[in-house]
Structure 1
Amino acid sequence: MAEWRCLAEVAVQPEPGRAFTAAGRDSRDHAHFHRDVLRWRTAFAASPTQAWALHFEDAACFAAALYGAWHAGKTVVLPGDALAGTQARLQGRVDGFAGDWPQATLTAPADDVSATPLQPLDAEAARLVVFTSGSTGEPVAIEKRLRQLDTEVHALEAVLGPGLEGATVHGTVSHQHIYGLLFRVLWPLSAGRAIVPRAFFPEDLLAAMDGQDAVLVASPAHLKRLPAQLDWASLHGRLRAVFSSGGVLPAEAAHEVSRLLGVSPTEILGSSETGGIAWRRWREEQPGWRALPGVEWRVQEGVLEVHSPHLSDAAWWRSQDRAEPDGCGGFRLLGRADRIVKVEERRVSLDALERQVRAHPAVGDVRVLLLGGSRSTLAAVVAMASGLPVPEDAAARRALSQALSRHLAASQDAVTRPRRWRFVSALPANAQGKVTEAALTALFRPERPTATWTLRTPTQARVELPLDASLAVFDGHFPQAAILPGVAQLDWAVQLAREAFPIPSRFLRMEALKFQRVARPGDTIHLELEWQAERCTLLFRYASVHGPHASGRVVFDHGE
């Protein structure tokens, strides 16, 4: 068993026999990690600036850069992705960017350029900024001291570490968020367990774990979608633990994971703000939550409150989770206290409504949300039950939404039932497997404006299209001055032409495409369509009071 090291001393002395990355073509031991930390410390120390944004796809490269920055006295900011928009938003918060950025401003030197020994880190001074998932808006920055992180990995090892000696840590979640950071980087570094690159597909995950004693760090979204046809039985006896966090793992999914992988999944309750709070293992139908070492909890006015060394101060932290003691020293969660909304002055529990929708045999999972506007409306996004297809045409979608509304009629009146429905194969999830309100809301934002036809003949058609700023098609084009993308104009022309004319499905080519003037939110554009059946060609032209915007010809295959 590798000797335990606190996080402040993880990189101080090289240990050639200590695990770092998994065995294989690119395997490296702790001595390589130590040298990489020295290289990054040299790079960071050469800069007078303080705050640095780090993003690396590779967990080993990330760990070396993280410790190099800390040993150079820098504050590390940890965004969830390295998109250009994220880099732009961080410009005012950080002084530079290291890693896989569109425009990185720092790289490590190729050789060890400093022989100055590394000293243990100051656990109060070394800091890290992580971000919440932004489930209801913009992500919120949360500062963590190394002391908090070190206390948490000690707690994880004390409760969950026994039996994991010598296991390699695999994962489907990113280390750029607090759960992945702790379970895939910091805890393995302290415990001397090897880490491997993140797996994106179940087939790659299974292949990577083949023949190894392994630990799997995943999320409910990944665990609910394990393909049953893969040879998961080959892991039985070697897979030591399966961890899940970031959302609730449904009982059905937990038991299926146990059956497929041969080990009962362990859930971790926590957040970016609190760190880990409690854990539970699915060896029974509905296990209660048990607090991690050092964490105290209480239920005040029906809501869970936490006192923890993982928090930034000693005050009790009030969650938005309704809870009750389970009579065995732990607690059970009863849903979110903040998921009570008002619809036409009626209080509606979104959790209760989701449970009722989920009871329908066509429903695999569901999220209900309140859409704003001049009149608030309940809406539901339904993931179809296993084996059922997503309804494709309007009539099928309408029939299913009516069936679900009838299903709710016994317990909900017309005001408290969802009025808008979307049907999907799986709920939209971010990189951490979390279903965010922003992603759900986007499903109800139209890509195309409501069309008003002013002329429809067998060969000619005209339609008015008011461009509202809320259209999803304006997202990212561009935040400073939104414009209608040319690809959207082409797509709309073909979509609307198919509604007006018998156009073959197979596209051949574009001809004479011109974009003459941008269209912006607030404009009303007029689309003229002409269908030349003998040539199987569609002519289109966009114009407004500002003049012509775009025109072109689309040729289809008339041999169909």
Structure 2
Amino acid sequence: MTFVPLTRLPWRRAITHQHSLPRHWVDPFSLTQRIDAWRRWLAGQPAGHWLLYRRHPGEFCAALAALWESGRVAVLPADDRPETLARLAAELDGTLPETPDEQSANHPTTPAYPESLNPSATAVVLYTSGSTGDPIRLAKRFDQLDAELAAHAELWPLADGCIISQVSHQHIYGLLTGVLHPLGTGAPFCGDECRYPEVLAARLQEAGDAGLAPVVVSSPAQLSRLPEHLSWHDLPRPRRVFSSGAPLAAEHAQRTESLLHAPVIEIYGSTETGGIAQRRQTQGSTWQALPGVELSIMDGSLTLRSPFLEDPQSGWQQPDRVAPATAGFELLGRVDRLVKIAGKRVSLDHIELSLTALPEVSEARCIDLGRTDGRLGAVVTLHDERMPHRHDTRHELIQRLRTHLSHHLERVAIPRYWRFVDALPSNAQGKLDRSLVDRLFADLDDNKAPRWLGERRPDPATCLLTLEVPERLVFLEGHFEEYPLVPGVVMVQWAIELANDSFGETGEFQGIERLKFQRVLRPGSRFTLQLTRRDDGIAFAIDSHEGRHCAGQVRLLTRHGGGHG
């Protein structure tokens, strides 16, 4: 399969594949009907920048190609939270509907598509993860994307291959590696539910049955949690496994190669720079530059020139400390993690290192929350036996951590806001991005919500949330003053609201069945909320280390007048 630049519309090439794959796979050359449907709908709509968010990679590609062929720019939000989409929609020229309604199409026939696209035109607008500050809006031209895709095709050709992506195509890494690379080479690809290990295993088998060599696009968050109970050794071996978005621990790289019997290739870069370098950690920790990327190291800082940059001729100062190594470099950490607190420069790295020196602390992230009081937040993972489950044990732990930090920091630099988690929450790119930080500390400005500490999705119909009862919860006021507790109606309301967040709009409330309250829930209590989608609504259960607190089933009516299908 030869790589064809995006500017030459590779999805319009008429090629018939001999392989047979299930319908949840995307064949790039089967997209033309969907692209044309979008083109008919877009005819007569305003030009300019259009909001595009689609989980399914096939529908995403069809809408993206239609925007490009009609001379529009696709704006890819970093997440699908309602407040994010509403804010962007108000700033842009249009928002694509869920599907291109043919009855309301603005043109009875499909407008002719161009022979090529302008290389200097803006193709997409993306947002940085915000893991080191507020998300930044960045535009990418077609020539930037095509230059990087050509480098991918040179290093990692997809002949007789296919892509299985576990990461979001709304970000630069997943967009390039999981969608645009196979789109430009005609290789089948899939995503959506592949983040679940059981689905990944099924897709590997499907690729092997079709005679294709699968390539897995993943992240540290996904690879660190690969379950050993699945029979990976009985499945077709991937040609390679990609990881990006955050550093992959050497032990996880080795474990992944042992389980999947495939080389694990890490890609280092950012939304601003595109890819910079790559490595295979089981063969060495040194990073090697991607084709066309020129690197120089001065005083421990990395400067690069790259065809993937907005200005390829200007040097870009990368905010990472590095050390030169044979044929490449070693990464040493960020140089931009200094903040000013009360006029004093404070290193977030120093605070994190001080915390992880304690035996009970596994990982720590210190965060500038940008609050008016100027104080920092800390997200800390602990060994299971040290996790606080009540207000008094949480208070004692915070005091112990603050006392420890007082030997290393001035008082004003010690974090004021603490969140204790089972594992650092991460997005599809493996990062603790700004949207996750906002969720962790949202209760500081919302006195009606539980404190969110993370979630797991064992399967598409189940969500397990780790939560905590904030001591300043408004519902505690006047409710048994000497013995404050969370009212039962509030627990049910939390279940419904968080189900909407987890599964999307779930439907109109119709009633509650099998509702049981077994234990009270006190301020400061740590608990889990299990949500399960049902045909007629959701089932929920609230548990803590004390046992079951409540459970029930909420009946919901969808907009179509029936239950969930």
State the TM-score, normalized to the length of structure 1: 0.72
- In the aligned structure 2, how far is the partner of 1:435 from the partner of 1:509? 28
Q: In the alignment, what sits opposite 1:500?
A: 482
Aligned match for 1:184, one of 163, 178, 182 = 178
- In the aligned structure 2, how far is the partner of 1:131 from the partner of 1:508? 36
- In the aligned structure 1, how far is the partner of 2:418 from the partner of 2:173? 32
Question: One-letter code of the match for 1:206?
Answer: A
- In the aligned structure 2, how far is the partner of 1:185 from the partner of 1:131? 17
Aligned match for 2:286, one of 282, 288, 304 = 288
Deviation at 1:181, TM superposition (A): 0.8
Task: Please state whether the residue corresponding to 2:282 is helix, strand or coil.
Answer: coil
C-alpha spacing 1:503/1:137, structure 2 compared with 1 (3 Å): closer
Larger RCO, structure (CA 8 Å, separation 6 or more): 2
In structure 2, stretches of 5+ residues that fail to align are 208-212, 451-469, 493-517, 521-548, 551-565
Task: Tell whether the 8 Å contact from 1:367 to 1:382 is kept in structure 2 after alignment.
Answer: yes
Q: Counterparts in 2 of 1:275-354, with a 5 A limit?
A: 275-284=274-283, 287-313=285-311, 314-326=313-325, 328-342=326-340, 347-354=345-352
Task: Tell whether the 8 Å contact from 2:125 to 2:140 is kept in structure 1 after alignment.
Answer: yes
Cα deviation per residue 1:319-377 (whole Å; 9 max; x = unaligned)?
21112212x12111221111123556665432243234335443332212345667654
Q: Counterparts in 2 of 1:250-261, with a 5 A limit?
A: 250-261=249-260
- In the aligned structure 1, how far is the partner of 2:305 from the partner of 2:113? 38
1:427 equivalenced with 2:424 (yes/no): yes
Q: In the alignment, what sits opposite 2:187?
A: 193
Deviation at 1:74, TM superposition (A): 1.5
Q: In the alignment, what sits opposite 1:113?
A: 109
Aligned match for 1:202, one of 173, 192, 197 = 197
Deviation at 1:196, TM superposition (A): 0.9
1:233 equivalenced with 2:233 (yes/no): yes
Deviation at 1:403, TM superposition (A): 5.7
Task: Tell whether the 8 Å contact from 1:18 to 1:30 is kept in structure 2 after alignment.
Answer: no
Cα deviation per residue 1:510-549 (whole Å; 9 max; x = unaligned)?
9xxxxxxxxxxxxxxxxxxxxxxxxx9x9xxxxxxxxxxx
- In the aligned structure 1, how far is the partner of 2:11 from the partner of 2:489? 62
C-alpha spacing 1:109/1:390, structure 2 compared with 1 (3 Å): farther
Deviation at 1:23, TM superposition (A): 0.9
C-alpha spacing 1:60/1:397, structure 2 compared with 1 (3 Å): same
Task: Tell whether the 8 Å contact from 1:22 to 1:168 is kept in structure 2 after alignment.
Answer: no
Task: Tell whether the 8 Å contact from 2:376 to 2:416 is kept in structure 1 after alignment.
Answer: yes
- In the aligned structure 1, how far is the partner of 2:46 from the partner of 2:341? 54
C-alpha spacing 1:506/1:272, structure 2 compared with 1 (3 Å): closer
Q: In the alignment, what sits opposite 2:163?
A: 169
- In the aligned structure 2, how far is the partner of 1:147 from the partner of 1:362? 50
Deviation at 1:132, TM superposition (A): 1.6
Task: Please state whether the residue corresponding to 1:306 is helix, strand or coil.
Answer: strand
Question: One-letter code of the match for 1:394?
Answer: H
Q: Counterparts in 2 of 1:313-462, with a 5 A limit?
A: 313=311, 314-326=313-325, 328-342=326-340, 347-370=345-368, 376-385=374-383, 388=385, 390-401=387-398, 412=408, 415=411, 418=415, 420-437=417-434, 439-440=436-437, 443-444=440-441, 446=443
C-alpha spacing 1:430/1:48, structure 2 compared with 1 (3 Å): same
Q: Percent identity?
A: 36
Task: Please state whether the residue corresponding to 2:116 is helix, strand or coil.
Answer: coil
More helix by share: 2
Q: In the alignment, what sits opposite 2:223?
A: 223
Q: In the alignment, what sits opposite 1:128?
A: 124
Task: Please state whether the residue corresponding to 2:479 is helix, strand or coil.
Answer: helix
- In the aligned structure 2, how far is the partner of 1:491 from the partner of 1:472? 5
- In the aligned structure 2, how far is the partner of 1:217 from the partner of 1:74? 28
Deviation at 1:276, TM superposition (A): 1.0
C-alpha spacing 1:117/1:430, structure 2 compared with 1 (3 Å): closer
In structure 1, stretches of 5+ residues that fail to align are 448-469, 476-487, 511-535, 539-555
C-alpha spacing 1:332/1:498, structure 2 compared with 1 (3 Å): farther
Q: In the alignment, what sits opposite 2:529?
A: none
Task: Please state whether the residue corresponding to 2:285 is helix, strand or coil.
Answer: coil
Q: CA RMSD in A?
A: 4.0
Task: Please state whether the residue corresponding to 1:382 is helix, strand or coil.
Answer: strand
- In the aligned structure 1, how far is the partner of 2:282 from the partner of 2:253? 9
Q: In the alignment, what sits opposite 2:512?
A: none
Deviation at 1:441, TM superposition (A): 6.0
C-alpha spacing 1:427/1:74, structure 2 compared with 1 (3 Å): same
Deviation at 1:502, TM superposition (A): 8.8
C-alpha spacing 1:407/1:265, structure 2 compared with 1 (3 Å): farther
Q: In the alignment, what sits opposite 2:135?
A: 139
C-alpha spacing 1:226/1:107, structure 2 compared with 1 (3 Å): farther
Q: Which moved more, 1:501-510 or 1:54-63?
A: 501-510
Q: In the alignment, what sits opposite 2:7?
A: 8
- In the aligned structure 2, how far is the partner of 1:126 from the partner of 1:438? 26
Task: Please state whether the residue corresponding to 2:267 is helix, strand or coil.
Answer: strand
Q: Which moved more, 1:344-353 or 1:123-132?
A: 344-353
- In the aligned structure 2, how far is the partner of 1:247 from the partner of 1:509? 36
Q: In the alignment, what sits opposite 2:214?
A: 214
- In the aligned structure 2, how far is the partner of 1:126 from the partner of 1:509? 47
Deviation at 1:254, TM superposition (A): 2.4
Deviation at 1:175, TM superposition (A): 0.9
- In the aligned structure 2, how far is the partner of 1:407 from the partner of 1:509? 36
C-alpha spacing 1:100/1:473, structure 2 compared with 1 (3 Å): farther
Task: Please state whether the residue corresponding to 1:239 is helix, strand or coil.
Answer: coil
Deviation at 1:90, TM superposition (A): 2.3
C-alpha spacing 1:50/1:334, structure 2 compared with 1 (3 Å): same
Deviation at 1:238, TM superposition (A): 1.4
Question: One-letter code of the match for 1:334?
Answer: L
Q: Which moved more, 1:123-132 or 1:139-148?
A: 123-132
Q: In the alignment, what sits opposite 1:95?
A: 93
Task: Tell whether the 8 Å contact from 1:446 to 1:471 is kept in structure 2 after alignment.
Answer: yes
Task: Please state whether the residue corresponding to 2:91 is helix, strand or coil.
Answer: coil
Q: In the alignment, what sits opposite 2:150?
A: 154
Task: Tell whether the 8 Å contact from 1:58 to 1:197 is kept in structure 2 after alignment.
Answer: yes
Q: Which moved more, 1:9-18 or 1:286-295?
A: 9-18
Task: Tell whether the 8 Å contact from 2:21 to 2:206 is kept in structure 1 after alignment.
Answer: no
Q: In the alignment, what sits opposite 1:55?
A: 53
- In the aligned structure 2, how far is the partner of 1:445 from the partner of 1:6? 43
- In the aligned structure 1, how far is the partner of 2:490 from the partner of 2:175? 49
